[in-house]
Structure 1
Protein backbone atom coordinates (compact mmCIF):
# COMPACT_ATOMS: atom_id res chain seq x y z
CA UNK A 1 0.00 0.00 0.00
CA UNK A 2 1.55 3.31 -1.05
CA UNK A 3 1.53 6.40 1.15
CA UNK A 4 -1.48 8.03 -0.53
CA UNK A 5 -3.58 4.87 -0.34
CA UNK A 6 -2.59 4.42 3.31
CA UNK A 7 -3.69 8.00 4.01
CA UNK A 8 -7.09 7.42 2.39
CA UNK A 9 -7.66 4.23 4.34
CA UNK A 10 -6.66 6.02 7.54
CA UNK A 11 -9.29 8.68 6.86
CA UNK A 12 -11.93 6.05 6.16
CA UNK A 13 -11.13 4.24 9.41
CA UNK A 14 -10.55 7.37 11.52
CA UNK A 15 -13.76 6.94 13.56
CA UNK A 16 -12.76 3.45 14.76
CA UNK A 17 -11.44 3.72 18.31
CA UNK A 18 -9.21 2.84 20.05
CA UNK A 19 -6.25 2.78 17.68
CA UNK A 20 -5.63 -0.91 18.39
CA UNK A 21 -9.15 -1.77 17.13
CA UNK A 22 -8.41 0.16 13.97
CA UNK A 23 -5.13 -1.70 13.47
CA UNK A 24 -6.90 -5.04 13.85
CA UNK A 25 -9.61 -4.14 11.34
CA UNK A 26 -7.05 -3.04 8.77
CA UNK A 27 -5.04 -6.21 9.38
CA UNK A 28 -8.21 -8.30 9.00
CA UNK A 29 -9.03 -6.51 5.76
CA UNK A 30 -5.55 -7.32 4.46
CA UNK A 31 -5.86 -10.96 5.52
CA UNK A 32 -9.34 -11.42 4.03
CA UNK A 33 -8.25 -9.89 0.72
CA UNK A 34 -5.06 -11.93 0.65
CA UNK A 35 -6.35 -15.35 1.77
CA UNK A 36 -10.14 -15.13 1.74
CA UNK A 37 -12.31 -15.01 4.85
CA UNK A 38 -12.46 -18.75 5.44
CA UNK A 39 -8.70 -19.29 5.18
CA UNK A 40 -7.70 -16.27 7.24
CA UNK A 41 -7.15 -16.92 10.95
CA UNK A 42 -7.19 -14.69 14.00
CA UNK A 43 -3.53 -15.62 14.54
CA UNK A 44 -2.72 -14.35 11.04
CA UNK A 45 -4.71 -11.17 11.65
CA UNK A 46 -2.97 -10.46 14.96
CA UNK A 47 0.43 -11.05 13.34
CA UNK A 48 -0.35 -8.54 10.57
CA UNK A 49 -1.45 -6.04 13.20
CA UNK A 50 1.74 -6.58 15.22
CA UNK A 51 -0.25 -7.78 18.22
CA UNK A 52 -0.63 -11.00 20.18
CA UNK A 53 -3.40 -13.47 19.24
CA UNK A 54 -5.07 -12.88 22.61
CA UNK A 55 -5.33 -9.16 21.85
CA UNK A 56 -7.85 -9.84 19.08
CA UNK A 57 -10.47 -10.97 21.59
CA UNK A 58 -10.05 -7.87 23.71
CA UNK A 59 -11.55 -5.86 20.85
CA UNK A 60 -13.59 -8.32 18.76
CA UNK A 61 -15.38 -11.54 19.65
CA UNK A 62 -14.45 -13.24 16.39
CA UNK A 63 -13.18 -12.70 12.87
CA UNK A 64 -16.85 -12.72 11.79
CA UNK A 65 -17.42 -9.59 13.87
CA UNK A 66 -14.41 -7.96 12.21
CA UNK A 67 -15.74 -8.87 8.78
CA UNK A 68 -19.11 -7.35 9.64
CA UNK A 69 -17.49 -4.05 10.63
CA UNK A 70 -15.33 -4.02 7.50
CA UNK A 71 -18.38 -4.68 5.32
CA UNK A 72 -20.39 -1.96 7.04
CA UNK A 73 -17.64 0.64 6.69
CA UNK A 74 -17.13 -0.20 3.02
CA UNK A 75 -20.79 -0.21 2.04
CA UNK A 76 -21.58 2.99 3.95
CA UNK A 77 -18.59 4.71 2.37
CA UNK A 78 -19.44 3.85 -1.24
CA UNK A 79 -23.11 4.73 -0.69
CA UNK A 80 -22.19 8.14 0.72
CA UNK A 81 -19.69 8.74 -2.09
CA UNK A 82 -22.34 8.04 -4.73
CA UNK A 83 -24.99 10.15 -3.01
CA UNK A 84 -22.66 13.11 -2.67
CA UNK A 85 -21.64 12.96 -6.33
CA UNK A 86 -25.25 12.69 -7.51
CA UNK A 87 -26.43 15.59 -5.35
CA UNK A 88 -24.17 17.88 -7.38
CA UNK A 89 -25.88 16.99 -10.70
CA UNK A 90 -29.28 17.60 -12.30
CA UNK A 91 -31.29 15.30 -14.53
CA UNK A 92 -31.28 11.50 -14.87
CA UNK A 93 -28.43 11.33 -17.40
CA UNK A 94 -26.05 13.50 -15.40
CA UNK A 95 -26.98 11.83 -12.13
CA UNK A 96 -26.50 8.36 -13.64
CA UNK A 97 -23.09 9.41 -14.92
CA UNK A 98 -22.21 10.83 -11.50
CA UNK A 99 -23.18 7.55 -9.85
CA UNK A 100 -21.11 5.45 -12.25
CA UNK A 101 -18.10 7.73 -11.91
CA UNK A 102 -18.22 7.75 -8.11
CA UNK A 103 -18.93 4.03 -7.80
CA UNK A 104 -16.15 2.95 -10.16
CA UNK A 105 -13.56 5.39 -8.82
CA UNK A 106 -14.32 4.33 -5.23
CA UNK A 107 -13.68 0.68 -6.09
CA UNK A 108 -10.41 1.55 -7.82
CA UNK A 109 -9.27 3.80 -4.98
CA UNK A 110 -10.20 1.31 -2.25
CA UNK A 111 -9.50 -1.81 -4.27
CA UNK A 112 -8.65 -4.05 -1.31
CA UNK A 113 -11.79 -3.04 0.55
CA UNK A 114 -13.81 -3.32 -2.65
CA UNK A 115 -12.71 -6.90 -3.21
CA UNK A 116 -13.72 -7.95 0.30
CA UNK A 117 -17.08 -6.16 0.29
CA UNK A 118 -17.91 -7.67 -3.10
CA UNK A 119 -17.03 -11.27 -2.35
CA UNK A 120 -17.51 -12.02 1.35
CA UNK A 121 -21.18 -11.10 1.93
CA UNK A 122 -22.23 -14.76 2.26
CA UNK A 123 -19.76 -15.29 5.11
CA UNK A 124 -21.81 -13.06 7.41
CA UNK A 125 -24.33 -14.42 9.90
CA UNK A 126 -28.01 -13.72 9.06
CA UNK A 127 -28.38 -10.57 11.19
CA UNK A 128 -25.31 -8.87 9.71
CA UNK A 129 -26.09 -10.24 6.25
CA UNK A 130 -29.43 -8.42 6.29
CA UNK A 131 -27.85 -5.16 7.46
CA UNK A 132 -25.19 -5.17 4.74
CA UNK A 133 -27.59 -6.36 2.04
CA UNK A 134 -29.83 -3.41 2.89
CA UNK A 135 -26.93 -0.99 2.33
CA UNK A 136 -26.07 -2.69 -0.96
CA UNK A 137 -29.69 -2.47 -2.12
CA UNK A 138 -29.83 1.21 -1.17
CA UNK A 139 -26.84 1.83 -3.43
CA UNK A 140 -28.47 -0.08 -6.28
CA UNK A 141 -31.69 1.94 -5.86
CA UNK A 142 -29.78 5.19 -6.36
CA UNK A 143 -28.92 4.31 -9.95
CA UNK A 144 -32.11 2.32 -10.60
CA UNK A 145 -34.24 5.38 -9.80
CA UNK A 146 -32.27 7.53 -12.26
CA UNK A 147 -32.43 4.89 -14.98
CA UNK A 148 -36.18 4.61 -14.50
CA UNK A 149 -36.61 8.38 -14.64
CA UNK A 150 -34.34 8.68 -17.67
CA UNK A 151 -36.27 6.00 -19.54
CA UNK A 152 -39.61 7.61 -18.70
CA UNK A 153 -38.40 10.98 -19.99
CA UNK A 154 -36.81 9.57 -23.14
CA UNK A 155 -33.26 10.47 -22.12
CA UNK A 156 -32.07 6.91 -21.63
CA UNK A 157 -32.85 3.60 -23.32
CA UNK A 158 -33.42 0.89 -20.70
CA UNK A 159 -35.08 -2.36 -21.80
CA UNK A 160 -34.09 -4.40 -18.73
CA UNK A 161 -33.80 -2.27 -15.59
CA UNK A 162 -32.52 -4.99 -13.29
CA UNK A 163 -30.02 -6.25 -15.85
CA UNK A 164 -28.77 -2.74 -16.56
CA UNK A 165 -28.28 -2.01 -12.84
CA UNK A 166 -26.39 -5.29 -12.47
CA UNK A 167 -24.14 -4.46 -15.43
CA UNK A 168 -23.34 -0.99 -14.07
CA UNK A 169 -22.56 -2.34 -10.60
CA UNK A 170 -20.40 -5.12 -12.04
CA UNK A 171 -18.42 -2.64 -14.11
CA UNK A 172 -17.59 -0.62 -11.03
CA UNK A 173 -16.90 -3.53 -8.70
CA UNK A 174 -14.54 -5.09 -11.24
CA UNK A 175 -12.32 -2.01 -10.96
CA UNK A 176 -11.27 -3.32 -7.55
CA UNK A 177 -10.07 -6.55 -9.12
CA UNK A 178 -7.72 -5.20 -11.77
CA UNK A 179 -6.78 -1.63 -10.85
CA UNK A 180 -3.30 -0.73 -9.64
CA UNK A 181 -1.55 2.63 -10.10
CA UNK A 182 1.16 0.82 -12.08
CA UNK A 183 -1.35 -0.03 -14.81
CA UNK A 184 -1.80 3.62 -15.63
CA UNK A 185 -4.53 6.13 -15.02
CA UNK A 186 -6.02 6.99 -11.67
CA UNK A 187 -9.33 6.24 -9.94
CA UNK A 188 -10.95 9.46 -11.14
CA UNK A 189 -10.08 8.85 -14.80
CA UNK A 190 -11.46 5.30 -14.53
CA UNK A 191 -14.68 6.70 -13.11
CA UNK A 192 -15.01 9.24 -15.91
CA UNK A 193 -14.34 6.58 -18.56
CA UNK A 194 -16.95 4.24 -17.13
CA UNK A 195 -19.51 7.05 -16.89
CA UNK A 196 -18.92 7.95 -20.55
CA UNK A 197 -19.21 4.32 -21.63
CA UNK A 198 -22.46 3.79 -19.71
CA UNK A 199 -24.10 6.89 -21.16
CA UNK A 200 -23.05 5.86 -24.67
CA UNK A 201 -24.68 2.47 -24.17
CA UNK A 202 -27.87 3.88 -22.68
CA UNK A 203 -28.33 6.47 -25.41
Structure 2
Protein backbone atom coordinates (compact mmCIF):
# COMPACT_ATOMS: atom_id res chain seq x y z
CA UNK A 1 0.00 0.00 0.00
CA UNK A 2 1.37 3.38 -1.00
CA UNK A 3 1.79 6.02 1.74
CA UNK A 4 -0.72 8.83 1.62
CA UNK A 5 0.21 11.72 -0.60
CA UNK A 6 1.38 14.67 1.50
CA UNK A 7 -0.83 17.74 1.30
CA UNK A 8 0.21 20.40 -1.17
CA UNK A 9 0.35 23.96 0.06
CA UNK A 10 0.58 26.84 -2.39
CA UNK A 11 3.98 28.48 -2.56
CA UNK A 12 4.20 31.95 -1.12
CA UNK A 13 3.68 34.55 -3.80
CA UNK A 14 6.01 37.46 -3.05
CA UNK A 15 3.59 40.04 -4.41
CA UNK A 16 0.67 38.76 -2.34
CA UNK A 17 2.81 38.45 0.79
CA UNK A 18 3.98 42.03 0.33
CA UNK A 19 0.37 43.21 -0.04
CA UNK A 20 -0.62 41.35 3.10
CA UNK A 21 2.27 42.77 5.11
CA UNK A 22 1.52 46.31 3.94
CA UNK A 23 -2.15 45.88 4.79
CA UNK A 24 -1.27 44.42 8.18
CA UNK A 25 1.12 47.28 8.95
CA UNK A 26 -1.56 49.82 8.16
CA UNK A 27 -4.24 48.01 10.16
CA UNK A 28 -2.02 47.33 13.19
CA UNK A 29 -0.81 50.95 13.17
CA UNK A 30 -4.33 52.35 13.02
CA UNK A 31 -6.23 49.90 15.25
CA UNK A 32 -3.62 48.05 17.25
CA UNK A 33 -2.94 44.32 17.13
CA UNK A 34 -5.89 43.10 19.21
CA UNK A 35 -8.52 45.25 17.49
CA UNK A 36 -7.35 44.21 14.02
CA UNK A 37 -9.00 41.15 12.47
CA UNK A 38 -7.68 38.92 9.73
CA UNK A 39 -10.68 40.11 7.72
CA UNK A 40 -9.36 43.69 8.02
CA UNK A 41 -5.97 42.59 6.75
CA UNK A 42 -7.35 40.49 3.89
CA UNK A 43 -9.65 43.31 2.83
CA UNK A 44 -6.77 45.78 2.81
CA UNK A 45 -4.78 43.41 0.59
CA UNK A 46 -7.72 42.81 -1.76
CA UNK A 47 -8.12 39.17 -0.75
CA UNK A 48 -10.86 37.00 0.67
CA UNK A 49 -10.81 36.48 4.47
CA UNK A 50 -9.23 33.05 3.99
CA UNK A 51 -6.43 34.59 1.93
CA UNK A 52 -4.35 35.44 4.99
CA UNK A 53 -4.07 31.80 6.04
CA UNK A 54 -2.72 30.74 2.66
CA UNK A 55 0.49 32.59 3.51
CA UNK A 56 0.51 33.02 7.30
CA UNK A 57 -0.59 30.59 9.99
CA UNK A 58 -2.00 33.30 12.24
CA UNK A 59 -2.33 37.02 12.81
CA UNK A 60 0.55 36.75 15.30
CA UNK A 61 2.79 35.21 12.64
CA UNK A 62 2.07 38.19 10.41
CA UNK A 63 2.98 40.56 13.25
CA UNK A 64 6.20 38.62 13.83
CA UNK A 65 7.21 38.86 10.18
CA UNK A 66 6.56 42.60 10.23
CA UNK A 67 8.45 43.07 13.51
CA UNK A 68 11.45 41.02 12.43
CA UNK A 69 11.78 42.53 8.96
CA UNK A 70 11.26 46.04 10.31
CA UNK A 71 13.96 45.66 12.95
CA UNK A 72 16.32 44.06 10.45
CA UNK A 73 15.75 46.95 8.05
CA UNK A 74 16.37 49.54 10.77
CA UNK A 75 19.53 47.80 11.97
CA UNK A 76 20.91 47.47 8.44
CA UNK A 77 20.16 51.14 7.79
CA UNK A 78 21.96 52.19 10.99
CA UNK A 79 25.03 50.15 10.17
CA UNK A 80 25.16 51.67 6.69
CA UNK A 81 24.75 55.17 8.14
CA UNK A 82 27.87 54.98 10.31
CA UNK A 83 30.01 52.88 7.99
CA UNK A 84 33.13 54.67 6.82
CA UNK A 85 32.76 57.56 9.28
CA UNK A 86 35.57 57.93 11.81
CA UNK A 87 34.68 60.96 13.94
CA UNK A 88 32.25 60.03 16.75
CA UNK A 89 30.31 63.25 16.17
CA UNK A 90 29.76 62.32 12.52
CA UNK A 91 28.78 58.77 13.42
CA UNK A 92 26.25 59.86 16.04
CA UNK A 93 24.75 62.56 13.83
CA UNK A 94 24.43 60.15 10.90
CA UNK A 95 22.85 57.45 13.07
CA UNK A 96 20.29 59.82 14.58
CA UNK A 97 19.57 61.48 11.23
CA UNK A 98 18.83 58.19 9.49
CA UNK A 99 17.10 56.43 12.37
CA UNK A 100 14.76 59.37 12.97
CA UNK A 101 14.02 59.85 9.27
CA UNK A 102 13.29 56.12 8.91
CA UNK A 103 10.65 56.34 11.65
CA UNK A 104 8.95 59.10 9.68
CA UNK A 105 9.30 57.59 6.20
CA UNK A 106 8.12 54.18 7.43
CA UNK A 107 5.85 55.56 10.16
CA UNK A 108 3.17 52.86 9.93
CA UNK A 109 5.64 49.98 9.95
CA UNK A 110 7.76 51.73 12.58
CA UNK A 111 4.76 52.22 14.87
CA UNK A 112 4.01 48.51 14.68
CA UNK A 113 7.67 47.55 15.12
CA UNK A 114 8.12 49.75 18.19
CA UNK A 115 4.77 49.47 19.96
CA UNK A 116 3.16 46.12 19.11
CA UNK A 117 5.96 43.58 19.67
CA UNK A 118 4.66 42.83 23.18
CA UNK A 119 1.87 40.82 21.54
CA UNK A 120 4.32 38.29 20.09
CA UNK A 121 4.76 34.79 21.48
CA UNK A 122 7.70 34.43 23.90
CA UNK A 123 9.84 32.75 21.24
CA UNK A 124 9.12 35.37 18.60
CA UNK A 125 9.51 38.20 21.10
CA UNK A 126 12.93 36.89 22.10
CA UNK A 127 14.13 36.99 18.49
CA UNK A 128 12.87 40.55 18.02
CA UNK A 129 14.38 41.68 21.33
CA UNK A 130 17.71 40.32 20.13
CA UNK A 131 17.55 42.69 17.16
CA UNK A 132 16.60 45.57 19.45
CA UNK A 133 19.67 44.81 21.57
CA UNK A 134 21.83 44.93 18.44
CA UNK A 135 20.48 48.41 17.66
CA UNK A 136 21.13 49.54 21.23
CA UNK A 137 24.64 48.08 21.12
CA UNK A 138 25.47 50.02 17.96
CA UNK A 139 24.47 53.34 19.57
CA UNK A 140 26.36 52.44 22.75
CA UNK A 141 29.50 51.75 20.71
CA UNK A 142 29.28 55.18 19.08
CA UNK A 143 28.89 56.81 22.50
CA UNK A 144 31.74 54.80 24.03
CA UNK A 145 34.12 55.75 21.23
CA UNK A 146 33.11 59.40 21.61
CA UNK A 147 33.79 59.35 25.34
CA UNK A 148 37.10 57.54 24.86
CA UNK A 149 38.25 60.14 22.31
CA UNK A 150 37.14 63.06 24.45
CA UNK A 151 34.46 64.12 21.97
CA UNK A 152 31.46 63.41 24.23
CA UNK A 153 30.72 64.30 27.84
CA UNK A 154 28.49 61.41 28.94
CA UNK A 155 28.15 60.10 32.49
CA UNK A 156 25.97 57.04 31.80
CA UNK A 157 26.29 55.34 28.41
CA UNK A 158 23.20 53.15 28.86
CA UNK A 159 20.85 55.93 29.93
CA UNK A 160 22.10 58.21 27.17
CA UNK A 161 21.66 55.53 24.50
CA UNK A 162 18.11 54.95 25.76
CA UNK A 163 17.33 58.67 25.58
CA UNK A 164 18.70 58.97 22.05
CA UNK A 165 16.86 55.92 20.76
CA UNK A 166 13.63 57.03 22.44
CA UNK A 167 13.88 60.39 20.68
CA UNK A 168 14.05 58.69 17.30
CA UNK A 169 11.47 56.00 18.06
CA UNK A 170 8.91 58.54 19.24
CA UNK A 171 8.79 60.02 15.74
CA UNK A 172 6.63 57.07 14.65
CA UNK A 173 4.06 57.95 17.32
CA UNK A 174 3.40 61.55 16.25
CA UNK A 175 4.52 61.76 12.63
CA UNK A 176 1.93 62.30 9.88
CA UNK A 177 2.52 62.91 6.16
CA UNK A 178 0.29 65.98 6.54
CA UNK A 179 2.79 67.91 8.66
CA UNK A 180 5.07 70.46 7.01
CA UNK A 181 8.38 69.03 8.27
CA UNK A 182 9.93 66.39 6.04
CA UNK A 183 11.54 63.19 7.37
CA UNK A 184 14.92 64.65 6.40
CA UNK A 185 14.26 67.81 8.41
CA UNK A 186 13.12 65.77 11.41
CA UNK A 187 16.28 63.69 11.17
CA UNK A 188 18.48 66.78 11.03
CA UNK A 189 16.77 68.27 14.09
CA UNK A 190 17.19 65.09 16.11
CA UNK A 191 20.81 64.75 15.02
CA UNK A 192 21.53 68.27 16.30
CA UNK A 193 19.70 67.58 19.56
CA UNK A 194 21.67 64.37 20.02
CA UNK A 195 24.99 66.17 19.71
CA UNK A 196 23.86 68.74 22.27
CA UNK A 197 22.72 65.97 24.61
CA UNK A 198 26.15 64.35 24.64
CA UNK A 199 27.99 67.66 24.98
CA UNK A 200 29.74 67.09 21.68
CA UNK A 201 33.11 68.76 21.27
CA UNK A 202 35.49 68.75 18.29
CA UNK A 203 37.46 65.51 18.23
CA UNK A 204 41.07 66.18 19.31
CA UNK A 205 43.56 66.09 16.45
TM-score when normalising by structure 2:
0.88
What SS is found at the alignment partner of 2:85?
coil
Residue 198 in structure 1 maps to residue 189 in structure 2: no
| Deviation at residue 88 of structure 1 after TM alignment | 3.6
1:136 maps to which of 132, 151, 154: 132
1:155 maps to which of 136, 148, 151: 151
Trace 1:1-203 onto structure 2 (pairs within 5 A).
17-203=13-199
Deviations 1:32-87 (A, max 9, x none): 11110011111111111111111111111000010011011110111111111101
| Deviation at residue 146 of structure 1 after TM alignment | 1.1
Aligned length: 188
- Structure number with greater Rg is 2
What SS is found at the alignment partner of 2:30?
helix
What SS is found at the alignment partner of 2:170?
helix
Deviations 1:11-46 (A, max 9, x none): xxxxx8421111111111111111100111111111
RMSD between aligned residues? 1.3
Gaps of 5+ in 2: 1-11, 200-205
Alpha-carbon distance in structure 2 between the residues aligned to 1:181 and 1:22:
22
Larger helix proportion of the pair: 1
Partner of 1:8: none
TM-score when normalising by structure 1:
0.88
Alpha-carbon distance in structure 1 between the residues aligned to 2:96 and 2:119:
27
Alpha-carbon distance in structure 1 between the residues aligned to 2:78 and 2:98:
5
Alpha-carbon distance in structure 2 between the residues aligned to 1:17 and 1:159:
51
| Deviation at residue 186 of structure 1 after TM alignment | 1.1
**Residues 17/91 of structure 1: CA separation in 2 closer, same or farther (3 Å cut):** farther
Partner of 1:6: none
